[in-house]
Amino acid sequence: MSTEMGCWVRLCLSVLYFSLSSVIVDADNGDYEVPIPSTLDGPFKPVTVPLDQTFRGNAMDLPHTDPLLQTTAQGFQPQQISLSLSSSHHSVSISWITGEFQIGDNIEPLDPKSVASLVRYGRFRRSMSHRATGYSLVYSQLYPFEGLQNYTSGIIHHVRLTGLRPNTLYQYQCGDPSLSAMSDVHYFRTMPVSSPKSYPNRIAVVGDLGLTYNTTSTVDHIISNHPDLILLVGDVTYANLYLTNGTGADSYSSAFPDTPIHETYQPRWDYWGRYMQPLISSVPIMVIEGNHDIELQAENQTFVAYSSRFAFPSEESGSSSTLYYSFNAGGIHFIMLGSYALYDKSGDQYMWLERDLASVDREVTPWLVATWHAPWYSTYKAHYREAECMRVEMEDLLYKYGVDIVFNGHVHAYERSNRVYNYTLDPCGPVYITVGDGGNREKMAIKHADEPGECPEPSTTPDPFMGGFCAFNFTSGPAAGNFCWDRQPDYSAFRESSFGHGILEVKNETHALWIWHRNQDFYGSAGDEIYIVRQPQNCPPFKPAT
C-alpha cells in the first residue's frame, strides 16, 4: 500500500459511518425497498449459492520480491507496526520489529536489550508528551535436522499504553530515540466505554488470511469498509506451507511427504507484517490461533511466532495462555478460545472460560461474542465435524451463558447458521458464522458433506493435534443413524464458496447488522446480510449465584 493509502485509512477513523438499512430494487412497477431480514424472521430455509465459476482457482502467494512485502526501514527503525486492544478501552498495545531476521545454518540472535522499546503519544492535534516503555524479545524457529535452515527474528517490541480516554483519536511514534530510530506518526482511535449504549462502528471479521493476491483483494475491501477493529480468527500467514529454503506448495503434506519435521519458512511472517502495517498500525487487530500457526519446532515447541509477534490481553483477562483470552469493545464482550489448546472440563482453558463467563455483566456488555478457529457447525466436507470433541465439552457452557454470535474460520468458504444448539434449531442458541475465506493459498472449500458420495469416513475427521473422536452418528432428527445429513441441514441458513470478509455493526443492546462481502463484488455490495437480534426477555442470560 502507498503512503497516501495509509494516510487515507487513518483519516477514515475519524469519520462517521453510514449503515445500510435497506436495499433499493428496480421492479417493473417502480423502485421499492427490500428490508434486511432479521433472525426474528427465522429459522430460514437452507440456501446454497451456486459456485461462481468466474472466481475460482488456487490463490497465488505474493512473491517475496513484491514491493508490498519490502521494508523502507533503515537500521533499527521500526517496521511491522501493529496495534492491539487490552481488556478494556483505556489501554492498547503497540508492537513493532527492529533489525532484520536471519535464516541459515549459523545464525546469531540479536540482543533485545540493544534497542529501547518506547512510544511517544498524545491526543490528536496535541503534543505527544506522554511516554510509555515496554519489553522486547527475539524468538527462534529451530530444527534439529541436518539441511534444515534455522531462523531468528528481529527484535520484537511490545508497549502497553494505559490511562487512555474512550472513543478518542490518538497519535503516536514508536522506536528508540537514542538511536534516531523512531517511526513516522501513526494514529488510532480507542474503543468506546463499555456500556449498553456505546459500540464500535464497524468490526471486520476475517479468517485464514494468508498472503496471496486474493488476500490483497480482501484487505482492500476491508479498508473500504472503514473498520474500527479487526478480528482474525486463525491462520495468519501460512508460513507452514513452505520449506525452510523458501520452496512453497499448495499442500505441504502432498508436496513434501518425506520431510523429517513439518518445516515452516518464517520470513513469510515478516512479509505479512510489512504488508499489513498500513492497516493494522491504525486499526487494532485481535488474533486467535489456527492450525497453520502451530509450527512445531525443536523441543516440541509450538505457536512461537504467533505468541511472540502479537500482544494479547491474556494476563488482564485472567488467562495464563496466549491461546485464549477475552476483552471488551464497547458493549461487546469478546471471548477468544483456542481450538488447539486443551479444552476438556478439567483443563485450564475450560475453567478460565467458566470464570470469564461468570464475570460478564450483561447490563454493561449486553453482547457476548465468541470466536475460535475450527467450527462446530459447518456443512462443508472439508473439516466436517473435526472439532466435535470441543463442541461436546464446551457447547453447554456457551449456551448456558447466552452467547449471541460465534465466529470461526478453518473452512475456506462462507456459511451462516440459524440459531442452533446441539444440532437442533433453538431460538436461544448462537448464530454461528464461518468466515475462513480470507484469501489463503490452499484451495477453496466447495464440496458439501450432505451431497451424494461426499460424506467423509468418520475415522478421518478428528484433527490429530486436537485429539479425540466424538463425531458419532446422529441419534435423532432428520439425520438419525447417519454421520451426515442427506440434504443441507436445517441449522445451515446460507452457504457460499467465495473469498471475502464480514462486517459486524452493533446498533444497540438488541440489534446487530452482519454483512458478508465477496471479493468479486463492488466494495459496497453485500453477499449476505442479516440483523442478528438478541431477545433477553425470552432467553435471559444465566446469572451465577452471588
Q: How far is Cα 223 from Cα 220, in angstroms, rounded to an integer?
A: 5
For residue 496, CA distances in Å to 82, 268, 531 come to: 32, 29, 19
Active site residue 64: no
The average pLDDT across 437-448 equals: 92
Indicate which CATH number applies to the domain containing 351: 3.60.21.10
Report whether 428 contacts 400 (CB < 8 A): no
Quote the pLDDT of residue 236: 98
Report whether 384 contacts 378 (CB < 8 A): yes
Report whether 256 contacts 264 (CB < 8 A): no
Question: Range of 202's domain?
Answer: 198-533
pLDDT tens track for 100-143:
999 998 899 999 999 999 999 999 999 999 999 999 999 999 99
Q: Please choose, from the candidates 101, 438, 70, the residue with its C-alpha nearest in 3D space to the C-alpha of residue 274.
A: 70
Q: 518 lies in a domain?
A: yes
Quote the pLDDT of residue 34: 73
| Polymer length of the chain | 546
Q: 159 lies in a domain?
A: no
Confidence of residue 450 (pLDDT cuts 50, 70, 90): very high
pLDDT tens track for 453-478:
999 999 999 988 887 899 999 999 99
| Whether pLDDT at 517 is above 60 | yes
Report whether 431 contacts 418 (CB < 8 A): yes
Handedness of CA 175, 5, 160, 215 (dihedral sign): negative
Report whether 292 contacts 66 (CB < 8 A): no
Instruction: Identify the residue with better confidence: 53 or 393.
Output: 393
Report whether 330 contacts 368 (CB < 8 A): no
Q: 143 lies in a domain?
A: no
| Whether pLDDT at 381 is above 70 | yes
Cell numbers at residue 180, please?
534516531
The average pLDDT across 70-75 equals: 92
Q: 308 lies in a domain?
A: yes
Q: What phi and psi values does residue 102 have, to the nearest 5 degrees?
A: -130, 140
- Using alpha carbons only, give the angle 361, 326, 544 rounded to the nearest 5 degrees: 35
Question: What is the amino acid identity at position 186?
Answer: H
First to last CA, the chain: 52
Q: 361 lies in a domain?
A: yes
Q: 210 lies in a domain?
A: yes
Quote the pLDDT of residue 32: 54
pLDDT tens track for 44-70:
999 999 988 776 555 799 999 999 999
Q: What phi and psi values does residue 12 have, to the nearest 5 degrees?
A: -65, -20
Q: How far is Cα 535 from Cα 533, in angstroms, rounded to an integer?
A: 6
Cell numbers at residue 117, please?
522499546
| Whether pLDDT at 258 is above 80 | yes
Q: What phi and psi values does residue 126 have, to the nearest 5 degrees?
A: -125, 175
Q: Please choose, from the candidates 362, 477, 355, 349, the residue with its C-alpha nearest in 3D space to the C-alpha of residue 420.
A: 477
Q: 116 lies in a domain?
A: no
| Whether pLDDT at 10 is above 70 | no
- Number of structural domains (the chain) is 1
The average pLDDT across 17-39 equals: 55
Q: What is the mean pLDDT of the chain?
A: 92
Q: 418 lies in a domain?
A: yes
Quote the pLDDT of residue 269: 98
Which candidate in 89, 292, 333, 383 is catalytic?
Answer: 383
Instruction: Identify the residue with better confidence: 308 or 35.
Output: 308
Q: Over pLDDT 70: what percentage of the chain?
A: 93
Report whether 393 contacts 344 (CB < 8 A): yes
Neighbours of 366 (CB within 10 A): 24
Q: How far is Cα 17 from Cα 124, in angstroms, rounded to an integer?
A: 20
